[in-house]
Amino acid sequence: MPDMEATLSPMNTSTAKLYSPAAVGRYQLSHRVVLAPMTRLRTLQPGDIPSPMMADFYGQRASNGGLVIIEGTSISIPARSYYGAASFFHDGQMEGWQAISSAVHSKGGRVFMQLIHGGRQSHVEMTGGVAPLAPSVVPFEGLALIRDGWVAASPHRELALEEIPGVVEEFRVAAQRAFSAGFDGVELHGANGYLVDQFIQDGTNKRTDAYGGTLEKRCRFLKECVEALGSVWGMDRVGVRISPSGEWGGISDSDPETTFAYVADTLEAYGIAYLHVIEPRIKGDDTLHEGHAPLASKYLRPHFRGPIIAAGGFDREGAEAIVERGDADLVAFGRHFTSNPDLPFRLKNRIPLTPYVRDAFWGGSEKGYTDFPTATPAELQA
């Protein structure tokens, strides 16, 4: 790849801002194309140890000066939601995660680990036999993925007030493990109806104590988790992902615009590395919903002055446009990155993209995971 890049004529490459340098926290990136966190379900070794093919996958998609965000990594056994999903809660997993961070660094990239607690989106087979946790007990008809396939989620229970600090501590310990494994930072998963999101939104948080009711109280858990991660990394190496228009996991809020403007103000005050926003463009399938204005430009940008990463089914043109407008500073790609390990290079040089294989997204072997080619010299000349 470096040799190919060195021979490019300026006429062959895009000069769009998407391919220009950007600062994220304390790091300087050479371009703004980010690998989005994707649950690929390849952690199938005993003890939830990351598989060697995961190191291959992330190493292939790393680029010099590019940002890679690792898939949602559960912070404990009760935090797990999906069979085969990543986790990091015991020392036996350290070597596997070190191999992944080293694979990204060997390409000159930066790598953040996304930390997650699935909350009520789980099943007792995944949580070690205990009921899934939630801020409140609210009817939920969602599914969970266990060894035998998709099944109805187990009935959840409300976290007792005295239990909440323990969950926050699990986030802190997982952040410390990521630090020890050689990562460059962590991202708090506050999106997609998982535990942090369940606390934020009033459709799932019916508490009347210090963690529910007012907007400030509903965001208390978010703040405590961010502070825990920052205590390990410093706030300039902590990112947060949110999905203000998300519906996954039966999530809802009576006034999402007000709620997430407050969230953005709160995170702005901390000086975190970036705010990662899932735009209301795609809803879990391949259908884009373009009738919505990008969230960053609609109401979050005035509340958060740091770097904003936009995600949500972007193609080349859409990604270049949102960065040029200034509605976002970087764009995270998921689907297209699955089948194009050299996606930043292909986008910049306007090389046709390899179609993704949706059937290989969740679980499987190396097929449809690490067997996609990079661009050839012939494609550069096309």
From residue 166, how far is each of 105, 120, 140 by CA, in Å? 33, 17, 24
Other CB atoms closer than 10 Å to residue 95's CB: what's the count?
Answer: 11
8 Å CB contact between 112 and 67: yes
Burial of 148 (0-12, 13-18, 19+ CB in 10 A): exposed
Considering only CA atoms, which of 6, 2, 17 is closest in space to residue 347? Answer: 17
Other CB atoms closer than 10 Å to residue 147's CB: what's the count?
Answer: 9
Q: Is 262 noted as a catalytic residue in this protein?
A: no
Considering only CA atoms, which of 313, 287, 284 is closest in space to residue 143? Answer: 284
Name the token pair of 197: 């999101």
Coil/strand/helix, residue 29: strand
From residue 241, how far is each of 138, 266, 322 by CA, in Å? 23, 13, 18
Cβ partners under 8 Å of residue 305, min gap 6: 268
Which is catalytic among the residues 58, 194, 211, 274? 194
Separation between Cα atoms, residue 330 and residue 332, nearest integer Å:
7
* Type of residue found at 183: F
Label the pairing between strands 133-134 and 157-158: parallel
Residues with catalytic function: 194
